[in-house]
Amino acid sequence: MGALISFIAVIILTLLAYGGVKSANMQAIFGIVLPYAAIMTFLIGVSYRVIKWAKSPVPYRITTTCGQQKTLPWIKQNKIENPSDAMGVTVRMILEVLLFRSLFRNTRSELQDGKLLHGSSKWLWLGGIAFHAAFFTVLFRHLRLFTEPMLLPLHLVETLDGFMQIGAPRLLMSGVVLLGAAMFLLLRRFLIPQVRYISLPADYFPLFLIIGIAVTGIMMRYVTKTDIVSVKELTMGLISLKPKIHQGVGAIFYIHLFLVSVLFAYFPFSKLVHMTGVFLSPTRNLANNGREVRHINPWNYKVKARTYEEYEDEFREKMKSANIPVEKE
């Protein structure tokens, strides 16, 4: 049911953009007003979430570790799995953000013939890293629409992305990989009963939305004819705060732009915001040095402490009468 609701929502958004452009001539709304509103929502929403996370107190270390902690000198520490200093944390964060290291070690469990079996889950890691790498590449490539002249790194990325040189225009692999990886993640939610059971509309909607963005982008490049010069003039106008609608841009472009705007506006309120949250997660960004440094809760109220000697002085007679050993007679 959650998948059906999300699919229908994306279809409605697509038809809304198509009808608004084709029938109501609302190109200015879908080409100028909504992109500006989406970017503002994205920036304000993400900033709010990051500031809120940054202000959350962390009174003690709650690091996620799976290796030998730093302990006695003759016991070898796992400095990446269980870091105790800033360097180890930095290395672990880099491996986590760029290579999804924890997901690579992920395993799946199944009950077969009354036995609990554990197996590899590398396909999920491969699909996840392909999806994120392709998504980042596509976003980076689109910077060519907002820069004049095109920067050298953009030219290099686009050259590498189209190295297969299939057809004209040449096939850019990032768009194909993005669509394939998104379909894989979506089918995984359909085909695995345990994942399907815990999946909500909020899990399906971003996938359908990204699939819609990838499909419309591929259609603009390989199926329909879109005036790229007019698109570049529109995007340069948006970035310079002097937007102007051009007549050579087809409806498919406004559908693509509208779905992208919805994704950006939805980003701060969805699970996609983990892109920024991973850097502020205390389970990842803290060193596990609890045996070296005493961490005191900053808001603990002061408690009047006393030694055992003082305790025994106060209750010595009662302890004797209860036959409890005392150090001093």
The angle at the Cα of 4, spanning 203 to 138, to the nearest 5 degrees, equals: 50
User: Is there a domain that residue 327 lies in?
Assistant: no
Euclidean distance between CA atoms 137 and 256, whole angstroms? 17
- pLDDT (tens, 9 = 90+) of the chain, 329 residues, equals 788 999 999 999 999 999 988 887 888 899 999 999 999 999 999 999 999 988 888 777 888 888 888 888 899 998 888 898 889 999 999 998 998 888 888 777 777 777 777 777 788 889 999 999 999 999 999 998 888 887 888 888 888 887 776 666 778 889 999 999 999 999 999 998 888 898 999 999 999 999 999 999 999 888 887 888 888 888 888 998 888 887 778 889 999 999 999 999 999 999 899 888 888 888 888 888 877 887 777 777 887 888 888 888 888 888 888 888 888 77
Q: Which residue type occupies 46?
A: V
User: Is there a domain that residue 328 lies in?
Assistant: no
Domain count, the chain: 1
17: tokens are 């953009």
Nearest CA among 281, 287, 264 for reference residue 53 = 281
pLDDT of amino acid 165: 67
User: Is there a domain that residue 326 lies in?
Assistant: no
Structural domain for 303, as ranges = 2-321
Euclidean distance between CA atoms 323 and 12, whole angstroms? 81
159: tokens are 């050259």
First to last CA, the chain: 76
User: Is there a domain that residue 329 lies in?
Assistant: no
Q: What is the pTM of this model?
A: 0.84
User: Is there a domain that residue 256 lies in?
Assistant: yes
156: tokens are 């290099």
CB atoms closer than 10 angstroms to residue 271: 12
User: Is there a domain that residue 29 lies in?
Assistant: yes
pLDDT of amino acid 140: 93
Does residue 80 contact residue 68 with C-beta atoms inside 8 Å? Answer: no
Q: Domain of 273: which CATH number? A: 1.20.950.20
